[in-house]
Amino acid sequence: MGKNPCEVWKTDSLVKTYLESVRGGIPFAAQQIEIMLRLAGAAGNGKPARFMDIGCGDGVLSASMLARFPEAKGVLVDFSEPMLVQARARLAGHASGLEFVTADYGQPAWHAPFEDGSFDLIVSGYSIHHQPDERKRSLYREIFNLLSPGGLFVNIEHVSSPSEWVERNFEELFVDSMYAFARSRGAEKSREQVSKEFYNRPDKDANILAPVELQCEWLRACGFRDVDCCFKVFELAVFGGRKP
Ligand SMILES: C[S@@+](CC[C@H](N)C(=O)[O-])C[C@H]1O[C@@H](n2cnc3c(N)ncnc32)[C@H](O)[C@@H]1O
C-alpha cells in the first residue's frame, strides 16, 4: 500500500509553507473565524468552558477562541509534531488551561482518552477533508458523542464544488488572494508563480472534498440540530450544528 497522502502534514517543509505563505492568504479567513466565534458565543450559556480543536495546526482557531473567551479550557489535537510545536509556542500564554494531544483522528480509537459529553464546543479548521467520506461521517458521530447537551460543533472547511466551472472560479479567487498576501508581505513573486505553486501544492493529493449540503445531512443524521452552512464562498464553508 502507498503512503497515506495526509502524512505530508508531518513534514517541516509543508508546515512552514502553510503557516508562512498560505494560512494568512485564505480568502475571507477573518470572516470565517468571526462566524465561528459568533456561534460559540450564542451556544450554551454564551461562554464555552471546555473546547476541542481538531486538526489544530498552529492553534489559529484556539487562539481566536481564547482571545474572545479567555477563561475557556481547551484540548488541541493534531498528528503533526511540527504543527504542535508551533501551537505550543503560539499559545504559551494560556498553557495552564490547554492540553496538546498527538492523535490521528483517522483512527477510530483517537477519542478514547476523552469522556463523552465533556466538551461544550468542538471546532475544526481545514482538516477533516483529509478523511474518506465514511470516516468523516464516523468522526462526526464521535464529535456528537464528545459534546455535552447543547454543545456546538463548527467546521471551517474546504468542501467540493458542484462543477468544474465553479471549481475554476474558486481556484482563481484563491490564487488572487494568495498573490495579494504574498505582495503584502513584500514577496517578489509574480501571479503566475503563485498560481503555479498553488496548482502544484504538495498537500493537494491529501484532499478528499465532499459537498457541504451532504455533510450537513450527515450531521443531521448524527442527531445534530440547527445544522446550517452559515458562511460559504465557493469551496470555503463554515458549517455545523448543536447537540440537543
Ligand atoms: C490545513 S491544516 C489546518 C490547521 C488549522 N486548523 C488551521 O485552521 O489553519 C490541517 C491540519 O490538520 C492536521 N491533520 C490532518 N489529518 C489529521 C489526522 N488524521 N489527525 C490529526 N490531525 C490531522 C494536520 O497535521 C494539520 O495541522
CATH number reported for the structural domain that contains residue 145 in this entry: 3.40.50.150
What counts of helices (H) and strands (E) characterise the chain? 8, 7
Nearest CA to ligand 1 atom 4: 57
Ligand 1 centroid to residue 41 C-alpha, Å: 24
- Domain enclosing residue 217, as ranges: 5-242
pLDDT band at 27 (very low <50, low <70, confident <90, very high): very high
Reported as a single tens digit per residue, the pLDDT across 188-244 is 999 999 999 999 988 888 899 999 999 999 999 999 999 999 999 999 999 999 999
Nearest CA to ligand 1 atom 12: 55
The predicted structure's pLDDT at residue 203: 86
Reported as a single tens digit per residue, the pLDDT across 130-180 is 999 999 999 999 999 999 999 999 999 999 999 999 999 999 999 999 999
Query: Among residues 161, 101, 108, which one has the least CA distance to residue 131?
Result: 108
Ligand 1 centroid to residue 203 C-alpha, Å: 11
Pocket lining: 79 vs ligand 1, CB cutoff 6 Å: yes
Q: Are 32 and 238 a contacting pair, CB within 8 Å?
A: yes
**Residue 104 Cα: closest atom of ligand 1:** 20
Q: Are 116 and 146 a contacting pair, CB within 8 Å?
A: yes
Distance (Å) of CA 42 to CA 55, 59, 69, 152: 23, 22, 12, 10
Q: Domain count of the chain?
A: 1
The predicted structure's pLDDT at residue 1: 43
Distance of CA 73 to the CA centre of its chain: 18
Whole-model pTM: value is 0.97
To the nearest 10°, report the CA torsion of 63, 68, 74, 76. -30
Reported as a single tens digit per residue, the pLDDT across 51-88 is 999 999 999 999 999 999 999 999 999 999 999 999 99
